[in-house]
Structure formats: C-alpha cells, structure tokens
Structure 1
C-alpha cells in the first residue's frame, strides 16, 4: 500500500511540474494575458480538470512553490530547539526557505518571469500582494505564539515584516538586474544580515 501511495505521489508531482513548465513556456511565448488554462493543460498533455486539481486559477501556477516556503518556515518555528531565541529561529526559518524552496523558482526562471509579468498584469500584482500579506501574517502569528513571553503580536509582526520585506525587496532587485540564481540567494542572505545587524544596533 505504501509503495502504491508513493507512486501516486510521484505521478502527482510530475504532473504538477509539467503544468508549471508548460505555463512558463506559454507565458514567455504568448504573454500571460493571451494564455488560457486549456492551453496550459493541453501543452502539459493533461485535461483541464487535472489542471484544476493542482491549481485554482491560471495565476496560481506562478506561485506554485509559495505554500512550500511558508510550510518550511512554520515547521522551523514549531520545531525550534530548546532555548533557541526568536531572532535565531526567524533567521533559520528564512534560511530554510531560501535553501530548500527557492531553488526551483530561480533555476526554472519562474521567479524572474513572475516579476516581469507582475509589472504588467494587475491581477498578478493583486495576487502577489495578497499572498505576501497572508504569508507574513501567518509566520508572525506562529512566532508570537511560540514566544509569547518575549514577543507580543505587534513586535512579532514588526520583526517578521522587516525580515520578509527586506528579503523580498532584495530578491526583486536582484531578479530585475538579471542576477544568477546564486546571486539572488546571496542578495536574500545579505538582506537578512542587514536586518539583524540593524536590530542588534537598535537593541
């Protein structure tokens, strides 16, 4: 039974990846607005129904790995080490996100494409902002609940907002100037270091 479940999961992941790759090709070739869900499904050699089993809407393909990143951060907070202080936990959570979930977006060109398209497609701008705010709030709430004696809700939101905002801004700047995947990751980590340095100086 476990082997059967493993095969199904691998097939599901292959289908999801095929949909992402097909969407990226079509968005690059035809422009985001000119591509339909049916075209993406056809290019991936699956049905439209299968597409909607993986993604709620066309724009969600561009954010395919966002939930993975949030899950990684939440897991680090939930499984924090005994005695580990909250700044270290947040840095480790962000580092896990950079190391383990951004690689696919960067190497496939999905991250760069998302930035380019968001600049010209209002629906993507709105979706990106919605995801950004929701993710930031979820991580901040988890950090507050993990360190209630040290961080109230305002402090947790401020710390997470500073970190996520800095990393997001650095990522955007690095992608816009055409940095390599490794260069983008360096920019992310530089942003993290700057936030923690400013926090230490303020403290």
Structure 2
C-alpha cells in the first residue's frame, strides 16, 4: 500500500512539472499562476503546496537529484584513479543525467530560456550554482584526501562547471537544439579538463 501511495505521489509531482512547463512555454512565467498549474494537473491549488512551495521550485525541481548523480560519479573514484578521469566521468554523468531528465527537450529549452531571462530565476539559479559547486568541491576533496587541497578541488570544480555554464549561455541561440547545447557543454568540458592537467 505504501508503495502505491508513493507511486501516486510521484505521478502527481510529474504531472505538476509537465503542466507547469507547458504553461510557461505557452503563456510565460509571470503570466502563469499556481492555480493555472494546479488546474492543468487536475489537482487543487491547496494540494499543489503539498509538492512545491512556489513556481520557482518547479523550475529547479530536479536540482538535488542531478547533484546526487554528479556526486556519485566523484565518489566512485578507485584507488590511484587520476583526477582527469574522475572529472571526465563527472561530465559524462551530468550529460547523461541531462539527457535522461524528466523534462523533454522542449521543456528543457523553456527552462534554460526562463533562467536566463527572469530576474528571480536568475538569482535562484546563481545561488544554486554556487551551492552545487561548493558541495561538489567538498566531495572531490574527500575523494582525493591527501592528494588535492580544498583550494585545488574548488578550483577544479569551478573551472569545469564555469566553463560549461558560460559556454552554453554564450552559444545559446533560439534555433539551437538541445543536442547541440549538450555538444557545446561537452566541448567546453574538454577544454577545461585539458587546462586542469597541471593538477594531475
């Protein structure tokens, strides 16, 4: 019975996410209300708050899950495995996570556009980016105990994620497909990793 309830909750949560991104794409972020999203997902506005606290939370609904995926890629480090290999696995895991995300390509493009254009989402996105990098840096430092200082681990994560994020934003165009955006991310990651070989 508990398993059935949990599956129902997951379906409702996913319905809210899908409804929200459909409406955000059609009407815009500010123009879409919580009541609109709840009605589209066929639940009450009151029930909405059992799943999300705000519209912003819908945009960043999978942040923690994606962070855990990235962290697992780092923690899997085997003895003597070099930093470059771990960083490359981190990128591969993150790209795979993006490809397998609950959002479709169209919805992922809507999210990217909104984060870049809505001031409240920009602020939240920057805060989460900083928090994510710091947590990954601590994880990397722990996986290379005695080999990488915290400063070196932070520099490696900052360089890698910073390169990917900035390259994607700089190369973002209305007609670019999600796959092309991912190719940009991979290329930027390789450039950053090449520059980090001095830490190896």
Normalization by structure 2: what TM-score? 0.88
1:87 and 2:84 aligned? yes
Consecutive unaligned residues of structure 1, counting only runs of 5 or more, are: none
Q: How does 1:52-201 map to 2 (within 5 A)?
A: 52-104=49-101, 107-200=104-197
Q: Give the SS at the match of 2:50.
A: helix
Contact 1:112–1:176 at 8 Å: present in 2 too?
no
- Number of residue pairs aligned between Structure 1 and Structure 2: 200
Tell me which protein shows more helix as a share of its residues: 1
Question: Could you tell me how far apart the structure 2 residues matched to 1:198 and 1:79 are?
Answer: 23
- Which of 7, 21, 35 aligns to 2:4? It is 7
CA shift, 1:51, in A, is 2.2
TM-fit CA distance, 1:55: 2.0
What TM-score, normalized by structure 1, do the two folds share? 0.87
Aligned residue among 7, 13, 16 for 1:16: 13
Gaps of at least 5 residues in structure 2 are none
Give the aligned CA root-mean-square deviation in angstroms: 2.2
| Pairing partner for 2:33 from 16, 36, 46 | 36
Range 23-32 or range 160-169, more displaced: 23-32
Cα gap change, 1:57 to 1:161, in 2 (>3 Å): same
Q: Distance in 2 between matches of 1:202 and 1:157?
A: 12
State whether residues 37 and 58 of structure 1, in contact with CA within 8 Å, keep that contact through their aligned partners in structure 2.
Answer: yes
